[in-house]
Amino acid sequence: MIEMKNVYKKYRNGVTAANGIDVKIKQGEFVYIVGPSGAGKSTFIKMMYREEKPTSGTITLNGIDMGSMKNNKVPHIRRNIGVVFQDFKLLPKLNVYENVAFALEVIEEPQKNIKQKVMDTLDLVGLKHKVRMFPDELSGGEQQRVSIARSIVNQPKLVIADEPTGNLDPDTSWEIMNIFDEINTRGTTVLMATHNKEIVNTIKHRVIAIEGGRIVRDEQRGDYGYEI
């Protein structure tokens, strides 16, 4: 599904955040991306949804070259990728329902399908009873559930999450991780950068460790492997 070949990313300030990355990820995998701060995890992830372009090398998503793709083609590709952030990035003036529906409206989903899809997805993340609430009326965990619902309402083949539990307490983090696990069980590829040692060591999946812009470890059912 995803293949990176000899990928380098050098930012304009001279920092090399990807330093020769080769990796293949199959449809349906769940992959944790671990490593110290500044290792290049976010850069790795951002290149997969073309938030950043590689300086050299190729990144293909289902055979499509993400690096050389024209900017006007990016929105079309992004339809197949859900993205979840540490800080949720919800629209503050829209309620829960509208935040999720918005993801379908921008891709011009027929109006008749929107309500059903939004409600089914909010049901999956356990938030059906809070459709009318606004982001500032929700806990962090609830906001992250909305953000996950928004990322999957379009049934993408790939969900990318950058530290999705970074702002959440341990109990809430487990609840959020269980949702990602459920999404993966339904066949969606999940790629997640995380510092959550407990979770990585308990809900076992493939672990890719990045240090200094290089993959230094890649193990099926791996361990977190760092002290914090």
Closest distance to ligand ADP from the beta carbon of 99 (Å): 10
Closest distance to ligand ADP from the beta carbon of 151 (Å): 19
Say if CB 173 and CB 139 are below 8 A apart: no
Question: How many angstroms separate the CA atoms of 125 and 180, rounded?
Answer: 10
The nearer residue to ligand ADP, 76 or 167, going by C-beta atoms, is 167
Closest distance to ligand ADP from the beta carbon of 187 (Å): 25
Summarize as ranges the residues that interact with ligand ADP (CB under 6 A). 11, 13, 15, 17, 35, 37-43, 95, 97-98, 115, 119, 131-132
The nearer residue to ligand ADP, 28 or 36, going by C-beta atoms, is 36
Closest distance to ligand ADP from the beta carbon of 76 (Å): 25
Question: How many angstroms separate the CA atoms of 174 and 156, rounded?
Answer: 23
Question: How many angstroms separate the CA atoms of 107 and 156, rounded?
Answer: 12
The nearer residue to ligand ADP, 69 or 102, going by C-beta atoms, is 102
Closest distance to ligand ADP from the beta carbon of 171 (Å): 25
Question: How many angstroms separate the CA atoms of 176 and 28, rounded?
Answer: 19
Question: How many angstroms separate the CA atoms of 162 and 155, rounded?
Answer: 19
User: Given CA atoms 179, 210, 59, 106 in this order, what sign does their dihedral have?
Assistant: positive
The nearer residue to ligand ADP, 41 or 150, going by C-beta atoms, is 41
The nearer residue to ligand ADP, 95 or 147, going by C-beta atoms, is 95
Say if CB 177 and CB 203 are below 8 A apart: yes
